[in-house]
Amino acid sequence: NRFAVYTEFLQESQKSQKYQKGSSLQGEDVMIESIKQPLTVMIHPIEKTEEIRLRRLHSVPAASVIVFLFFMAEVVSYIYTGRVFNFNKPGSLNVLLIMLRTLLPFVLFVIANWCATTLMEGKGDFVQIFVLSAYALLPFTLSNYLVTLLSNILSADEITFLAVISGLGIAWTAFLLIAALMTVHQYSLFKTILSFAATAVGMAIIAFLLILFFSLIQEMINFANTIYFEIYFRFLGGFTG
């Protein structure tokens, strides 16, 4: 066992030295790398994630931009999808609802995955999980914009073509998410699937606690209002009368 641990340590050290050669990026190099990194993760998810894990060279701003584009893709789709395929009323756009079905699940996933993988001895930290999860959203986000564009060109008979593009975007994102998190946490495929199941349970628990918390806040506000009006009408109301 000690020999196996020592061997694994040597392998990790060799990989780290390999990636640290030329890892001192500055100025424009950092900006270029921030733009290239999400795109290269799309093509080489395992190799690039391993490099991110060892060099710890990842771009939180680039990840944040992708999350924002993911959110905006839903807004653009809601408003600008072609008439033939769009059953929404642009005037009834509710940005808060779109945030609840896009940004909230993403944030819940990152937090729940970090909690679950911490308990399951995952190697990735919170920032790496956030960045890699955001990078994984890129294919789905791009396919969403493409579908919105093509929906204004294609006819109703060609809806299958749009469904294929959307399906490929979802499948690619799912593959990237599994491959990236499996690599950064140093899990087997089985343990990765197990961690996703634990993440789903964690998301449900966090969502339940949030609903419970806001319900409690609402009850407290209603109780405070009741007390206020009771005091006002019973005491202050008598003086004004």
**DSSP string spanning 14-74?**
HHHHHHHTT----THHHHHHHHHHHHHHHHSHHHHHHHHHHH----HHHHHHHHHHHHHHH
Closest Cα partner for 66 from 131, 125, 112? Answer: 131
Average pLDDT of the chain, as a whole number: 83
How far is it, in rounded angstroms, from Cα 83 to Cα 121?
50
How far is it, in rounded angstroms, from Cα 172 to Cα 167?
8
Query: What pLDDT, in 10s, does the model give residues 159-197?
Result: 899 999 999 999 999 999 999 999 999 999 999 999 999
**Phi, psi of 207, rounded to the nearest 5 degrees:** -60, -40
Query: Which tokens is 35 given?
Result: 């733009």
More confident residue, 7 or 208: 208
Query: What pLDDT, in 10s, does the model give residues 69-118?
Result: 999 999 999 988 888 888 887 678 888 999 999 999 999 999 999 999 99
> Is 80 exceeded by the pLDDT of residue 2?
no
Closest Cα partner for 126 from 109, 143, 101? Answer: 109
CA distances from 45 to 55, 114, 135 (A): 15, 19, 10
